[in-house]
Structure 1
Amino acid sequence: MATSGERDLPAWEQPPQRVHLHMMKKEPQRLPLGWLDLLTWEARRLELIREGDDVSGFVRAVGRGLAADPPRDPMVAHRQTDKRGWITIGLDPKRMFWREANALFSAAAISDCKDQRPKALDLLSSPEALDAIGGDATLDLDVLGLSAEKSRLDLIRAEHLRARARLFSDGVAATEVAIAINEKATVAVGALRAALVKYAAVALSPGDRTPDSKEVYRLVDSWGATTEAWSALGEHFDALLRDLGEVEPEEARERFAQACLRVAQACFAAATAAGRESGRWLKAAALGERVLHAKLRPLRTSLRAPESSSRAETNALEGQA
């Protein structure tokens, strides 16, 4: 971004805005004078109401508006849309951040990607930066974000990630792993929920009557098992991200698949532990475990066969030959 030299100042060093902006329907707009101006941009302001020498109140007023097609904030992720052009990417309250973490690497892997990661990551993963800090250096990233609708603030979130610097430079492997493990996590949590739905449906159907589906889903949601599973898998993702670079991508994916199996089984056991005293609930648990086992089969089949088993199979084939 071009700078206006001495005029590019932080907001507190610039001449004050004119007063009574709260009387305007739309704030005055202009382009930033440089990075200092943009990064301290005053989008909102408070105007004091005075009665003589005393302040009797205040008005929340508009501040400075950005003119059309302004430079994009280098600390914020953006997405290109057909109607609105480049917009900032907010947080989805229903999804944990780590499930979208592949976007931090994909910009380095896909040149025509419509999602643009923060420019600060491009600078941090530039050849000059990697030469200075080393590609194997571990970066600590604090990711801050919010979900808002106009003046309503729905969610504020702070996340922390650790990863090797070179993963942000050549993001192909990291992106592929992140996408693959997201798919595995979706299978695991989906299997867990399906098993719990079966468990709840059988437990709530004495005499083989058909239970109310709303009651079934309300009971399943009350256990919080899927939320617990996503949280636990997030911890495994953090560990995988730290190790990626020391292990091959295939091994990283397999480790995460094994973690998915363990987490799904543990969360199912925890959610159903309290009801394993009566016969109907024991039957429900057995049927739920059957569903869980069937739904987790894709994860089991994705695991590589142990080396000893593979060697035994090879020897058997050679013996037959």
Structure 2
Amino acid sequence: MSHRRRRLAGACAITVAAGMLATGGAFGTPPREVSDWRGGGREVAVGAYLHYGSPGVERMRELSHWLRGTELRAGHTYLPGDTWANIEGAPDSLESWARWRKARADRLFVLNVPMLERNEAGVPDDRVAELIRTGARGAYDHHFRRLAERLVGLGLPDTVIVLGWEMNGFNYTHRCRPDPENWKRYWRRIVTAMRSVKGQRFRFDFAPNRGGDAIAWTKCYPGDDVVDVLGMDSYDQPPGESFHDYVTQPYGLQQQVDFAKAHGKRISYPEWGLFRNGDNAEYMRSMLEWIAKHKPLYQSITDYCPHGVWQCTENPDSAHVFREFLSTERGRRWGYRR
């Protein structure tokens, strides 16, 4: 999924009414054995993408209230990919996120970072390949050192960096398909540049789209030494006739879990939500159960229309499922904290 309005949607999100939905809802029994290959019952850090700027911080508190006090421990936003200055961390909203992160020690700040400027400008493949090769030679290292310095200076040295997200797709300028080998070299240079900054403790999240898309995401994987988390963006859209199809499709949810286990990585879901199939309560329930079973480091629903459940009034049945799952005893038994 590649839509400019995903990054800007907070500015036009539909205002949610207080007490929008009544309580209730039925869920299956939690699995007897949680599928956590490292062992131990880890809690899942819940988050949501609510707005690209400072209003996203305020809406975290409002969403937590709607969820009857469920803690939102994963704050998630994006750096604009229009200019190198913004990729270097120029947006003032980072200061608001830094205050939010530092208010509690157990919070995660998750930041999607583009690998190239003009990231949504429809740049053709031949030019993308040229830019990737330039990056692989080190020409852009200084931009990412500046970003790392900015984050450390703001007191965000432990940021989870979702670098070059959905790289297996067709649209972003930082896509992998035009030159996979140099793309991997470029990722490695970025991680090396950011890790060179004193005081950093960043974790780098490799997060493709679910499925094959333009290229198998395994062909873009840059190496275990430069990846800390194996993420996946997963929306309710073809080819799935059922949630089982999303699990079993090539390069789908099960392959993500298996790949992460084989490579010793935590998983994550930086973006997920509704899409092509409208208000699909069964998808919402199944995705929440999948997340609870497999214990990712964090999950962050994309919360605006058509994907969301709180800032979007178009999906009342799915909103009911989401709210009840995360705000009741059932949800706590699955590993979600209040």
Does the pair score TM above 0.5?
no
Shorter chain as denominator, the TM-score bin is under 0.3
TM-score, normalised with respect to structure 1: 0.21
TM-score, normalised with respect to structure 2: 0.20
Q: Which has the higher contact order (CA 8 A, sep 6+)?
A: 2
Greater gyration radius: 1
Greater share of helix residues, 1 or 2?
1
Greater share of strand residues, 1 or 2?
1
